[in-house]
Amino acid sequence: MRLVEVIVLISTVLAVALLITVGFEHLVPSERVRPVAEFYLNATYNQYELRNYTAMSPEAVTAIVWDFRGLDTLFETSVFYLALIAGLALTRGLLLERAEKSGHGLSIIVRTVTRITAPMIVAVGASIGLHGHLTPGGGFQGGSVIAVLPMVVIVVFSASFLVIKGVTTTKLLVVRSLGLTGIGLTAIAVFLVGITLHMPAYVFQNMAKPDAQISMPYSVAGALISGTLWFFNIFEMFAVAAGFSIAFIALMLARTLESSRGE
Amino acid sequence: MEAVNTYLLSVTLASLLVNFAISLYAMFFKPHYVKKVIALTILGDTVNTFAIYIGYRRWVEQRPPRVPVLTDLRPEAIEEFKNLAVDPLPQALVLTAIVIGLAVILFLVFLGWILYSHYRTLDMREIKRLKG
Amino acid sequence: MGDKPMLPGETGVYLVMAIISLLSVVAVYMAVKTRDLVKAVIYSALQSGLYSILYFLLLAPDIGLVYIPVAVGLIPGVLLVLISKTERWEKE
């Protein structure tokens, strides 16, 4: 019975694929990309021809996320925090952070392995985030890798383990706010310098433009940091990791409505 | 061989379309809240994958396409990079969409938990019948 | 020298892509079909794993890096927490 269903499913897919091949070949990728993509690929690290349009980052995706379309990402970040705050608002009055030991968690082998792997998870996440302008990765990726850690720790030890260790939602909220403030300050950094020096400059400017000759330094002591991209990545990493950690701690510690009414 | 390649690429596209259809069906007609949330995650992933798929490029004259990350910073290398790399724009758009998707799913999980503590069930037919 | 390989590299890559997406169709169907919500979450995580392989084959390592922790780790995690706090079986 199950096998028949799977065979019907797969043959449906193959038939639809035949239809696409015959009738709609333009839906399948071709050997060329769109002209706008060619412009981005050409300009992402090009100090020879397009000096006034380049982002000075070898990583085209990070360059688009934080430079060419940086304003999009700023508003997407705000959408992301609105959704997170909407979720946290539902637990209002239900959250109780008590530093008391409840349960013993999983076996000692699992706990020891978790103690060893926990710093590794943070190290991998930080590496992905800090090298976001050079290799695949960036603030969002590094932040979500680090956000796996509180989930693992809560499952392996106990729900209040993080609170006992001093990781409360208030502290994480401070980290998250610092990250968001950092993103805002980086966005207007070049603009503020322009005001001070009485020179034209834009909000969200990274490298020098034809009518605004100020630019962030793209390398510090020989190390390429791609101007604002490095700062955006590190602040976004902190903000994403702390924001998701708050949500997991809230989810694990929140009580049911009845027990909160009973007290 | 060209037709076989096109057909194999079409199989990927058709699978995405069928996944889209199945998850849309599950979102509308499955009665349980958690099942609806799972269908929503599958729907979002499928749409994201479709965007990435559109940005892919075929092999150019037997040479494989490249990741949109520049590894060699000389001007000739940039020209070759432009002719071989895949489209980075859909990847940049999908990147933030996945993180926002996780935030939305967290909101829905909180909502489902509040629903359960009000109604003692997550079956949508029951909730409709109970009406608060 | 001059030996033609059985399968050109291009076709091989597309073939692997096609097989992985066919498997993901089966995983999605099972996730929708089963009445046990824990199994549904596990099938959905299987689909996410297959999609992340697909992202690497479509040359999007950035998306793979953000998709693996989010869709294979965190979303099944929070859904399992929700199921453990509520109910496990979907009624007929």
A12 chain-B contacts, CB cut-off 8 A: 18
Q: pLDDT category, C8, cuts 50, 70, 90?
A: confident
The strand pairing partners of A224, in sequence order, are: A219
Mean pLDDT is lowest, of A131-140, B25-34, B38-47, C25-34, for A131-140
Of B53, B67, B98, the CB nearest to C67: B98
- How far the first Cα of chain C sits from its last, in Å, is 64
Q: Do C73 and A155 touch (CB under 8 A)?
A: no
> Residue B128: CA atoms inside 13 Å, Cβ hemisphere, count?
6
Please give the pLDDT value at position A164: 80
Please give the pLDDT value at position B40: 94
| Residue range(s) defining the domain that contains residue C76 | 9-85
B57 chain-A contacts, CB cut-off 8 A: 29-33
Percent of chain B with pLDDT over 70: 98
Please give the pLDDT value at position A95: 66
Examine the pLDDT at A6 and tell me if it is beyond 90.
no
Please write the tens of the pLDDT for every residue from B36-77.
999 999 999 999 999 999 889 888 888 888 888 888 878 888
Query: How many B/C residue pairs have CB atoms within 8 Å?
Result: 151
Please give the pLDDT value at position C1: 45
Chain B contact for A51, CB < 8 A? no
A18 chain-B contacts, CB cut-off 8 A: 7, 10
Q: Do A145 and C74 touch (CB under 8 A)?
A: no
Instruction: Give the residue extent of every domain in chain A.
Output: 69-262
* Alpha-carbon distances, residue A258 vs A83, C34, C89, C92 (angstroms): 26, 31, 23, 28
| Residue range(s) defining the domain that contains residue B118 | 2-130
Distance from CA of B129 to the nearest CA of C (A): 15
d(CA A141, CA B92): 12
- C interface test, pick of A148, A155, A244, A249 with most C CB neighbours within 10 Å: A148
Examine the pLDDT at A184 and tell me if it is beyond 70.
yes
- How far the first Cα of chain A sits from its last, in Å, is 53
Q: pLDDT category, A261, cuts 50, 70, 90?
A: low
Q: Do C69 and A148 touch (CB under 8 A)?
A: yes
Q: pLDDT category, A99, cuts 50, 70, 90?
A: low
B27 chain-C contacts, CB cut-off 8 A: none
Please give the pLDDT value at position A258: 54
Contact B27/B108 with Cβ under 8 angstroms? no
Instruction: Give the residue-averaged pLDDT of C77-88.
Output: 89
Examine the pLDDT at A209 and tell me if it is beyond 70.
yes
Please give the pLDDT value at position A162: 80
d(CA C47, CA C71): 9
* In a domain? residue C1: no
Q: Do B107 and A83 touch (CB under 8 A)?
A: yes
Contact A133/A57 with Cβ under 8 angstroms? yes
Total number of residues shown for chain A: 263
Mean pLDDT is lowest, of A2-6, A92-96, A122-126, A216-220, for A92-96
Q: Do C40 and B1 touch (CB under 8 A)?
A: no
Mean pLDDT score across all residues of chain A: 83
Token pair for B110? 């909180």
- A interface test, pick of B6, B7, B10, B74 with most A CB neighbours within 10 Å: B10
d(CA A245, CA B54): 34
Instruction: Give the residue-averaged pLDDT of C57-62.
Output: 90
Examine the pLDDT at A160 and tell me if it is beyond 90.
no
Please give the pLDDT value at position B70: 86
Q: pLDDT category, A224, cuts 50, 70, 90?
A: confident
d(CA A204, CA A227): 11
Q: Do C44 and B19 touch (CB under 8 A)?
A: no
Q: State which residue of chain C sits closest to A128, comparing Cα positions.
A: C65
Nearest to A121 by CA among A143, A136, A105, A140: A143
* Alpha-carbon distances, residue A70 vs A6, A60, A204, A205, A239 (angstroms): 45, 13, 7, 9, 17
B103 chain-A contacts, CB cut-off 8 A: 80-81, 83-84, 87, 243, 247
Based on the structure, what is the number of domains in chain C?
Answer: 1
The complex scores an ipTM of 0.90
* In a domain? residue C92: no
Q: Do B96 and A86 touch (CB under 8 A)?
A: no
Of A6, A9, A138, the CB nearest to C62: A138
Mean pLDDT is lowest, of A95-99, A118-122, A195-199, C36-40, for A95-99
Please give the pLDDT value at position A260: 53
In this predicted model, which residue has the larger pLDDT, B21 or A262?
A: B21
Chains within contact range of chain B (3+ C-beta pairs < 8 Å): A, C
Task: Tell me phi and psi for residue A256, to 5 degrees.
Answer: -75, 165
- Amino acid at residue number A187: A
Based on the structure, what is the number of domains in chain B?
Answer: 1
Residue whose token pair is 């940049």 = B92
* Alpha-carbon distances, residue B79 vs A35, A38, A132, A158, B86 (angstroms): 14, 10, 23, 55, 14
Q: pLDDT category, A101, cuts 50, 70, 90?
A: low
Chain C contact for A105, CB < 8 A? no
* Alpha-carbon distances, residue A235 vs A10, A180, A181, A187, A228 (angstroms): 45, 7, 8, 11, 11
A76 chain-C contacts, CB cut-off 8 A: none
* In a domain? residue C18: yes
Q: Do A64 and B70 touch (CB under 8 A)?
A: no
Q: pLDDT category, A262, cuts 50, 70, 90?
A: very low
Examine the pLDDT at A129 and tell me if it is beyond 70.
yes
Please give the pLDDT value at position A98: 64
Mean pLDDT score across all residues of chain C: 88
Percent of chain A with pLDDT over 70: 91
* Alpha-carbon distances, residue B100 vs A32, A44, C85 (angstroms): 30, 26, 24
Distance from CA of B74 to the nearest CA of C (A): 22
B99 chain-C contacts, CB cut-off 8 A: 66, 70
Of B31, B38, B58, the CB nearest to C40: B38
